[in-house]
Structure 1
Amino acid sequence: MSFPLIARLRLGALGLALSLPLLASAQTAAPALPAPPTPEAAATLQWYLLDPTADRVMGVSVNRTYQELLAGRTPTPVVVAVIDAGIDTTHADLKRMLWHNAREVAGNGLDDDKNGLTDDVWGWNYLGGPDGRNINLEQLEETRLLAQLQPRFKGKSRAGVPAAERADFDLYLKVKKSYDAKVKENTDRLKQYSQVYAENVAVSDMLRLKLGVERIDTATLRNPPTTDPKLRQLSGQLYGLLLNTGFGSLDDILTEMKNGLKETQDQLDYGLNLSYNPRPIVGDDPFNVKQRLYGNADVAGPDPLHGTHVAGIIGADRVNNLGIMGIAPPVVRLMAVRAVPDGDERDKDVANAIRYAADHGASIINMSFGKYYSPQRAAVEEAIRYADSKGVLLVHSAGNENENLDQKLQYPAPVFLNGQRIPNLITVGASSRDNDAGLAADFSNFGKTQVDVFAPGNQIYSTLPGGRYGNLSGTSMAAPVVSGIAATLKSYFPELTAADLKRLILASAQPTHTQVRQPGSDKLVDFADLSSTGGIVNLYRAVQLAQQEKAVK
């Protein structure tokens, strides 16, 4: 779950207050274009495919790699599973790239491949019910835990609790503190958002009236129809603001603010609602982690925005002369596994999603989700070990709360319960376009021991539902950059194991010693101290290393 961060900017003599949502994940950071971009526009918008030396932006050298190292070589098929909120299977830039279960006949209502799941042609949905309904909004894990523990411990002291129950009592106190803080935070935010949104609507209406226009967009602001010096000054400032943030008009900004209001209200109404429980839609026993056969075949779900964007970063069609280019070659296929609601995912669903992907041929699994409590952690770790036995690499986003993960774990964690490092998991933080103080994305989690590497995750342009395209920001976008690199390596060097892929990807990230703002603060730190590798992944260097190792063998 992500939370918009408000930055109030007071501009010009009119005192215009604009509250721009700086979005950490799963949210549009700029409006989606109604039509695919031209190849020239896409080349600029997809900065993360560019080369740090040649193009002077902190991309991962995808274009250079295909031009210089992979030209003329034949890739082999690879399957990448996207465990997410769903994928728009009709998107023109994705539909040819989707994994297809060849042993299943679409729409016949039969379990043709005898795996216990009916019509799983494009993957599976662990948030769906047998009647076709789907979970969209869910509780946070703190809410679920508090709802379970509060009847047992409310009003009690630790001394009054039997020794055998004190661990649960301690968890109750910890969860309640976190829950109460989030209720207050969202209540305060809703009040602030509502007031600022109303102010900005009023100012936007006033500006339209004074300029005599219907729409305050970049075309109007570039040459405003007024001789008033104050209005012209303000128009110039707003024009620069829109260009820098990727918005086309003030209406687009107000739409994003309205979306932020709704997200905050939803958090209070559903995510933090102790009595809300959508799980009967699925009809399973959510506490039975051994239960495997539930869900439905709707891999898009009610809101496939996040998963569609993630999928495009990994493998949007590179040869259809349309829209954008994914990182992976066009023989890579994307398996959709829906397990992430708007709220916190359940460990049971994550474990089953990992198992489904491993059993159906995925070599790489992208996991752009996370939370800070994991009551069924053992089940997820068992699934991760199972995936390791099948040779599957897992790529996980580090999270968007600017937390130091060396001090506070986010789940799935990079270590097992026994403290052992998970060998087939890469944890990814988010970096930005420019090699300056903002190189580490302000929202990104970090950690010298718990985060492996950084990858581009700020203002990432990719596919969106309905044939659209747009920018999203978050470690949710950084993880699929790494998954795309892993898929490319596996496709051109099929002999590589999951351990090999991880080793090469981490080795490609050369330490970068730029002084950057530590995420969430103004403190300057060495970028190399924010992860174990100290750098940003790079496909060119990873392919070079793979070629060198192959030549030696």
Structure 2
Amino acid sequence: MRNLFPLKKLALMAGLCLPILAAAQQTTKYKPNWQNLDLQTDSVFGISTEKAYKELLPGKKHVTVLVAVIDGGVDIEHEDLKKVIWNNPKEIAGNKKDDDKNGYIDDLHGWDFIGSAKGDVHYDNLELTRMVRIYNARFANADSTKLTGKDLADFKMYSKMKAELNKKTTEAQQTYDIIKRFNGLIDNVLAKIGSKNPGIADIEKFQPEGGAETYVKNVLLKALPDFKDVADFKEKELKGGMEHFKELLDYHLNLNFNSRDTVGDNYANVNERNYGNNDVAGPDADHGSHVAGIIGAVRDNNIGIMGVANDVAIMSVRTVPNGDERDKDVANAIRYAAANGAKVINMSFGKGYSYNKKAVDEAVKFAMKKDVLLIHAAGNENENTEVELNVPNRTYEDKSGTANAWIEVGASGPMDDATLKASFSNYGKTSVDVFAPGVAIYSTTPKSTYAEHDGTSMAAPVVTGLAALIRSYYPKLTALQVKEIILKSVVKISHNVEIKDGNNKKEVPFTDICATGGVVNAYNALKLAATY
């Protein structure tokens, strides 16, 4: 999820609604590879991966573990990933035949469930938008006074969702207009300064006229330490902000936009399996590549970064567009990964509504039978997921139970203090199992580049990498045993951490925000695994 730091609050100044700099971006530079370091020796709350490699794993045999990354795509040619990308041994490259008879032609490195011969889906709606569109067709001419039973219940839900969609659309339009106007104010100030890219000294010398110019000057002075220069600030935050909210308006919240024609499936047929293409990167592989690198980027090539696991094969199952993933595609992605041998599946995605959770649940049950461990990101809304719905989740909609081989992951930061819970991370006393590093994580991005990202999307693959590491060195362990080991071996947190309580913050015990009350630890987990 994109963090647009100047847009956290709105202030009325000089008759204009303007974005206000609520807090500067993170200027602290953490130690490289901090998520794999050790709290005692390195003073950052990593998971002690390097300590485990140094003290526990030398000379031990290990096997390659197939890990599926269900995401927006992975750059399979990345310099630090290409050696760990899965090559389907039963498929012959480029012959346009389904050699392994699994229903997917030339699926050499995985599959893309949001593409076809026509191309690949880049943007899609939020699930909220799609559901309102479906209900619009059903209730467009309905007389609510004559509805009863399920129809009345659905109509009430529809009314609630429609109001939420209207609110989101209005806020997105207003924020887009605000950023655009603020950008214009900055341009006016720069024109008065006489430079399109002035330095801090030039800005400090500038004598503003009126509240708006004073505000612009203050924002620039606060922001510039976190950017190369004014041009960099404008490019990344203002232009990036406008692009973000334009995408919301044009695609995510737009009832008239529907990307599904690109896929060409019968979307109403949830049992349909064999659609898509073999483009496992897609038009934007940033998020998925970052996730893949955290899990298993090559550790011993002296370039780039070091993944948690040192012997994995990454299967890319492209399912997540710029927008909300669709349940049909998620279900098929889980089935594909499990059927083709994945032992751990990373799912760094989620949403607040589900159109067909049953389909996803059935796929999860299939994965459970295949001894697959599912790792899911808890989400970035700083909400309690015992109260606010975040899907997919381990609880089956038909009340038949839960997926036992499932780990729900919150994001932690590097400091062992009240800020240990990442400010954005969702949490839940029973709905979240563990926390793992998810702040300023440096990993692989497309075209052999690297970048820092924040999110539970980064925390989940830390745990996925750990699960793969355990299954690599102790391949006889079941998915349930690996989960048990990870949960039992956490570093327990004895101090309170900050969470949001309405509009306020409060401090609570770590046991109030996750079931184990701790942060995962590779060293402890591998020591425990050796006793099984």
Q: What is the TM-score of this pair, normalised by structure 2? A: 0.89
The alpha carbon displacement at 1:481 in A equals 0.6
Q: Which residue of 2 aligns with 1:178?
A: 164
Unaligned runs of at least 5 residues, structure 2: 12-17, 209-215
How far 1:341 sits from its partner (Å)?
Answer: 0.4
Task: Name 1:101's counterpart in structure 2.
Answer: 88
Rounded Cα–Cα distance in structure 1 between residues aligned with 2:35 and 2:370: 31
Quote the offset at 1:198 in angstroms. Answer: 3.3
Matched, 1:429 2:415: no
Cα 1:152–1:236, aligned 2, differ >3 Å: closer, same or farther? closer
1:167 to 153, 159, 177: 153
1:38 paired residue number: none
The corresponding residue for 1:292 is: 273
Stretch deviating more after TM superposition (259-268 or 381-390): 259-268
Q: Distance in 2 between matches of 1:229 and 1:275?
A: 46
Deviations 1:492-524 (CA, angstroms, capped at 9, x unpaired): 111111101111111122331333220474222
Contact 1:201 1:254 in 2 (8 A): no
Find out whether 1:91 has 2:74 as its counterpart.
Answer: no
Letter in 2 for 1:536: V
Partners of 2:162 and 2:327 lie apart in 1 by: 20
Deviations 1:63-95 (A, max 9, x none): 111111112222211010000000111110001
1:106-255 equivalences under 5 Å are 106-131=93-118, 133-154=119-140, 156=142, 158-203=144-189, 209=195, 245=226, 247-255=227-235
User: Structure 1 residues 144, 215: CA separation in 2 closer, same or farther (over 3 Å shift)?
Assistant: same
Task: Kindly provide the CA deviation profile for residues 299-321 of structure 1, in whole angstroms up to 9, marking residues without a partner as x.
Answer: 00001110011111001111211
Aligned length: 513
In structure 2, do the counterparts of structure 1 residues 249 and 467 end up closer, same or farther at CA, with 3 Å as the change threshold?
Answer: farther
Task: Specify the code of the residue in structure 2 equivalent to 1:360.
Answer: N
Instruction: Look up the match of 1:333.
Output: 313
Change (3 A) 1:490 1:536: same
Matched, 1:480 2:480: no
> Structure 1 residue aligned with 2:443, among 449, 462, 483?
462
Q: Deviations over 1:449-486 (max 9, x none)?
A: 11111111111110111111111111111110110111
The TM-score with structure 1 as length reference comes to 0.86
Matched, 1:373 2:353: yes
Per mean C-alpha deviation after superposition, the further-off stretch among 359-368 and 438-447 is 438-447
Partner residue in 1 for 2:326: 346
Equivalent residues of 1:20, 1:253 under 8 A apart: no
Q: List aligned pairs for 1:27-106, cutoff 5 A.
A: 44-106=31-93
SS at match of 1:545: helix
Distance in 2 between residues matched to 1:326 and 1:314, nearest whole Å: 5
Q: In the TM superposition, what is the alpha-carbon distance from 1:440 to its structure 2 partner?
A: 1.3
Paired position in structure 2 for 1:302: 283
Q: State the distance in 1 between where 2:56 and 2:449 align.
A: 31
Matched, 1:413 2:357: no
Task: Give the letter for the 2:40 counterpart.
Answer: T
Displacement of 1:154: 3.9
Give the equivalent residue in structure 1 for 2:510: 527
Is the 2:372–2:405 contact (alpha carbons within 8 Å) kept by the matching residues of 1?
Answer: yes
SS of 1:44's equivalent? Answer: coil
Please state how far the C-alpha of 1:164 moved relative to its aligned partner: 4.3
**Paired amino acid for 1:67:** K
CA-based RMSD of the aligned residues comes to 3.0
Instruction: Give the residue type in structure 2 aligned to 1:79.
Output: L
Q: Match of 2:86, as an amino acid?
A: W
Q: Is residue 87–residue 304 contact of structure 1 (8 Å, CA) maintained in 2? A: yes
Counterpart residue number, 2:363: 383
SS for the counterpart of 2:151 is helix
- In structure 2, how many angstroms separate the alpha carbons of the residues matched to 1:511 and 1:227? 47
Give the counterpart letter for 2:521 in structure 1.
N
CA deviation string 1:130-179 (max 9, x = no partner): 23x01000011111111111232246454321434223223212321221
2:347 maps to 1:360: no
- Taking the aligned partners of 2:172 and 2:81, their CA distance within structure 1 comes to 36
CA pair 399-55 structure 1, distance change in 2 beyond 3 A = same
- What amino acid is aligned across from residue 255 of structure 1 in structure 2? E
User: In structure 2, do the counterparts of structure 1 residues 178 and 235 end up closer, same or farther at CA, with 3 Å as the change threshold?
Assistant: closer
Q: What are the ranges of 5 or more consecutive residues in structure 1 without an aligned counterpart?
A: 11-16, 24-28, 32-41
Write the deviation string for residues 388-436 of structure 1: whole angstroms up to 9, x where unpaired.
1000000001111111101112000231121733201111111112122
1:30 and 1:471 in contact (8 A); partners too: no
Overall identity of the aligned pairs, in % = 43
Question: Is the 1:21–1:256 Cα contact (8 Å) retained in structure 2?
Answer: no
Structure with more relative contact order (C-alpha pairs < 8 Å, separation 6 or more): 1
Aligned pair 1:471/2:452, yes or no? yes
Mapped partners of 1:395, 1:176: distance in 2:
32
CA distance in 2, matches of 1:94, 1:405: 33
1:71 is paired with a residue whose SS is: coil
Q: For structure 1, which segment, 161-170 or 44-53, has the greater mean C-alpha deviation from structure 2 after superposition?
A: 161-170
Structure 1 CA distance, aligned partners of 2:320 and 2:65?
23
1: CA distance, partners of 2:111 / 2:160: 35
Distance 1:499 1:445 in 2: 24
